[in-house]
């Protein structure tokens, strides 16, 4: 498929946006939360190669200016919809009431700044930030925003105190299912505050930390598939975002194989795990692991059925993404259409 920028043939499933400063969020907070709020950043592991070419000329950091983001990302790449991911890192905090209040404030800010204003054409679609420390409050927040025309999913940090298949999270999944909204799991709060890393301990460098994001995604995914979540909530859907993708075939081969001998342990799981995955789970592409030989990657994409499970993302502005052509190997026309547009259109009902 020859990409036609004028016809907007892409849906970008991971675009990061940020408030200009803490005051932009504080206006949506009441006391006692207002005086406590500060934009939480990971002070343990900082990317040493933070891009500066995406900073808007008006000042401020990348991802804070809707007009400049449109010029640099939307218009230059022919993007029909950009699904926005605020990064509040709310679940790093020890106080669930504070975390819930901050999540709600971020949703108000996103709606006012990006989804209601600067969005006459509906290009921007939003994610409902939740704090999964309090699943009942999170469910209320989902219900509060579910009727908004531009919120298309729920957003949860991967940093957690328990794998996501466990039943304390059920109120969140029930709310997602009844409102027809998928849950996006995105790296966030891993190793921060009250959350441990899904590893043997704390790594020494950002490179190790960032590579390890895939560990958390695999842990949550196996938990969801083996705890019977998709049997209990047949309309519940999940998006694995920015956690890598090429690990999927080997993980599912092992899980399916072990299920055959151990399925008596999990009677709520009626089918092999990979069948639930194909029906309920999708993955975003950035960062797409690129070996030296593109043919090797194409073979792995075929093994994981990327044509139906993978959705394009740029991870703008937090990555070195430059263009679709540079990010992907040459694929068949049918695979390009599905990954770049149709999979997201169908999954998000856009």
Retrieve residue 252's tokens. 């599912």
pLDDT digits (tens, 9 = 90+) for 62-110: 999 999 999 999 999 999 999 999 999 999 999 999 999 999 999 999 9
Give residue 198's pLDDT band: very low, low, confident or very high (50, 70, 90): confident
Q: Is residue 6 part of a domain?
A: no
Longest dimension (CA), the chain: 61
> What's the chain's average pLDDT?
93
What's residue 7's pLDDT? 58
Q: Is residue 101 part of a domain?
A: yes
Write the CB contacts of 103 (distance below 8 Å, at least 6 apart in sequence). Answer: 88, 90, 129, 130, 131, 138, 141
Residue 125 phi/psi, 5-degree rounding, is -120, 145
Say which DSSP state 317 is in.
T
Retrieve residue 229's tokens. 């979540």
The DSSP bridge pattern shows strands 124-129 and 151-157 to be parallel
pLDDT digits (tens, 9 = 90+) for 280-313: 999 999 999 999 999 999 999 999 999 999 999 9
The residue behind tokens 């740029």 is 314
* Statement: residue 114 has pLDDT above 50: yes
Going through 117-237 in order, the beta strands assigned E by DSSP cover: 124-129, 151-157, 183-186
Say which DSSP state 331 is in.
-
The mean pLDDT of 149-176, rounded to a whole number, is 97
3-state secondary structure of 154: strand
CB 154: neighbour CB atoms within 10 A?
28
The mean pLDDT of 235-254, rounded to a whole number, is 97
CB 337: neighbour CB atoms within 10 A?
15
What's residue 97's pLDDT? 97
Q: Is residue 68 part of a domain?
A: yes
Retrieve residue 38's tokens. 């500060």
Cβ 85 vs Cβ 14: under 8 Å: yes
* Statement: residue 2 has pLDDT above 50: no
pTM over 0.85: yes
* Statement: residue 115 has pLDDT above 70: yes
pLDDT digits (tens, 9 = 90+) for 175-194: 999 999 999 999 999 888 88
Cβ 47 vs Cβ 206: under 8 Å: yes
Q: Is residue 2 part of a domain?
A: no
Residue 104's domain comprises 12-348
CATH of the domain at 157: 3.20.20.140
Q: Is residue 70 part of a domain?
A: yes
- Structural domain tally of the chain? 1
Q: Is residue 1 part of a domain?
A: no
What's residue 50's pLDDT? 72
The mean pLDDT of 106-121, rounded to a whole number, is 96
Q: Is residue 5 part of a domain?
A: no
CB 19: neighbour CB atoms within 10 A?
21
Q: Is residue 27 part of a domain?
A: yes
* Statement: residue 165 has pLDDT above 80: yes
Give residue 324's pLDDT band: very low, low, confident or very high (50, 70, 90): confident
| End-to-end Cα separation, the chain, in angstroms | 21
Say which DSSP state 107 is in.
H
The mean pLDDT of 323-348, rounded to a whole number, is 93
């Amino acid at each position: 498929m020859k990409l036609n920028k004028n016809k907007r043939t892409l849906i970008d499933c991971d675009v990061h946006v940020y408030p200009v400063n803490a005051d932009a969020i504080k206006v949506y907070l009441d006391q006692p939360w207002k005086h406590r709020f500060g934009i939480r950043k990971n002070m343990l592991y900082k990317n040493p190669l933070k891009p500066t070419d995406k900073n808007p000329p008006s000042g401020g950091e990348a991802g804070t200016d809707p007009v400049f983001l449109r010029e640099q990302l939307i218009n230059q790449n022919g993007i029909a919809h950009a699904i926005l991911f605020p990064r509040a890192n709310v679940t790093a905090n020890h106080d669930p009431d504070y975390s819930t209040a901050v999540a709600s404030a971020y949703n108000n800010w996103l709606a006012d700044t990006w989804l209601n204003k600067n969005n006459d054409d509906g290009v921007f679609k939003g994610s409902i930030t939740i704090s999964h420390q309090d699943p009942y409050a999170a469910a209320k927040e989902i219900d509060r925003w579910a009727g908004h025309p531009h919120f298309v999913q729920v957003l949860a940090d991967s940093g957690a105190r328990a794998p996501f298949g466990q039943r304390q999270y059920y109120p969140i999944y029930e709310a997602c299912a009844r409102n027809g909204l998928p849950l996006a799991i995105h790296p966030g709060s891993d190793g921060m505050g009250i959350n441990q890393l899904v590893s043997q301990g704390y790594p020494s460098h950002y490179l190790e930390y960032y590579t390890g994001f895939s560990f958390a995604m695999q842990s949550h995914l196996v938990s969801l598939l083996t705890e019977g979540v998709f049997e209990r909530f047949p309309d519940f859907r999940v998006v694995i975002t920015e956690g890598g993708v090429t690990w999927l075939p080997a993980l599912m081969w092992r899980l399916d194989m072990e299920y055959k001998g151990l399925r008596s342990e999990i009677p709520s799981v009626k089918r092999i795990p990979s069948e639930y995955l194909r029906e309920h789970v999708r993955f975003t592409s950035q960062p797409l692991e690129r070996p030296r030989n593109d043919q090797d990657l194409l073979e792995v994409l075929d093994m994981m059925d990327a044509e139906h499970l993978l959705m394009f993302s740029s991870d703008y502005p937090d990555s070195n993404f430059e263009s679709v052509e540079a990010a992907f190997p040459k694929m068949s026309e049918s695979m390009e259409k599905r990954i770049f547009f149709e999979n997201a259109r169908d999954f998000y009902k856009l």
